[in-house]
Structure 1
């Protein structure tokens, strides 16, 4: 079919533009397609990783209380293969608890240390508090206090000070323990179930609780 004059002019303009910019435009399109392909591929990879890690985590949880060695193997497997997923952090914390209950402090400390080195801020803080508790049981007081040093998320202030109080009380540093427990109470909601235990420990090291005002 023959082109009319207007169509021919448009075609000539397009040819001229393509001669000048066509190569660059091709690369822009190719780059865009590559970026889209990479994005969809990355999303698929992440979904696959999460699904596989979830299956391993279910195996780990099913072994808790039955086979500590299997729990530790599953946790190590998740950490090595799916270390960037949330399941690695959850698995390590679960494995640490299982190891501690099985009186395997070495494994418990190793799992908690993994979370401290690789986890998100919240899970790192949780792991530090728990590791300090394991070290307290081992009477490694200085190391336990060192574990609790440094910046922590604000929501862990009560837990950190409570654990610090436990360590200082075990060292018979009662004045410092009172200060730590008081700081924990200051950050604990009055309706929290944990508050009563902190109050008992605070009084045990010589702390005096304020008298409750009678309801009007």
Structure 2
């Protein structure tokens, strides 16, 4: 089939355009396809990781129910080593810390709470881990370390709890003035209808207000 001169020029122009850009277009489409497949593969991998960590977490909960600290430690170690980015990992650390505390293994409880504070992504969980770690340190009579934990940045929603805990630490240290100041700060952060307001007030009154 013959083309007139104008049609032939258009065809030649299209050929030249393809020669210049066609390979880049093919490469670009190929890269997009590879990227999409990679994303899907990663999503599937993440889903499998969560599923596997959930199974280990269930076994950890069962060990908690049986008060089997050895199996709790085994389950927590497995999740933290193999599935540290799973949402179950920090939860496992909290459970393991409680199991250790209940069995008076304060060193282990401290290790687990430190792990939780380091690996938690949510500010509230970091704050809770720090608060509980301070409590363990108090039980170990490491008062300065407990205060250091309570001086760390935390979610403002925990302010009252942190001040209350500071009051407890200073009271144990025998620093009544600092304890009173901390309890007063806790009361200032608590609402009038807060369930623990009366308890904090009682501790403040015991120090002479």
**What is the TM-score when the length of structure 1 is the normalising length?**
0.87
Give the C-alpha shift of residue 176 in structure 1.
0.8
Contact 1:131–1:144 (CA under 8 A) maintained in structure 2? yes
**Correspondence for 2:95:** 94
Give the C-alpha shift of residue 13 in structure 1.
4.3
> Relative to total residues, which structure has the larger helix share, 1 or 2?
2
Which contiguous aligned blocks of 4+ residues in structure 1 show a shift greater than 4 angstroms?
2-13
- Report the aligned-residue RMSD: 2.0
**Correspondence for 1:196:** 198
d(CA) in 2 for partners of 1:102, 1:12: 84
- Deviations 1:105-162, CA, capped at 9 Å, x for gaps: 1110110111122222322211111111111111111111112222111111111111
Unaligned runs of 5+ in 2: none
**In 2 relative to 1, CA 3–139 (structure 1 residues): closer, same or farther, beyond 3 Å?**
farther
**Correspondence for 1:15:** 15
Alignment of 1:34-53 (within 5 A): 34-53=34-53
**Correspondence for 2:185:** 183
Matched, 1:30 2:59: no
**What is the TM-score when the length of structure 2 is the normalising length?**
0.90
- Deviations 1:62-120, CA, capped at 9 Å, x for gaps: 21142111111111111111101221111101110111011111110110111122222
Give the C-alpha shift of residue 16 in structure 1.
2.4
Contact 1:56–1:74 (CA under 8 A) maintained in structure 2? yes
Give the C-alpha shift of residue 15 in structure 1.
2.6
Unaligned runs of 5+ in 1: 208-216
Contact 1:65–1:98 (CA under 8 A) maintained in structure 2? no
**Correspondence for 1:147:** 149
Aligned length: 206
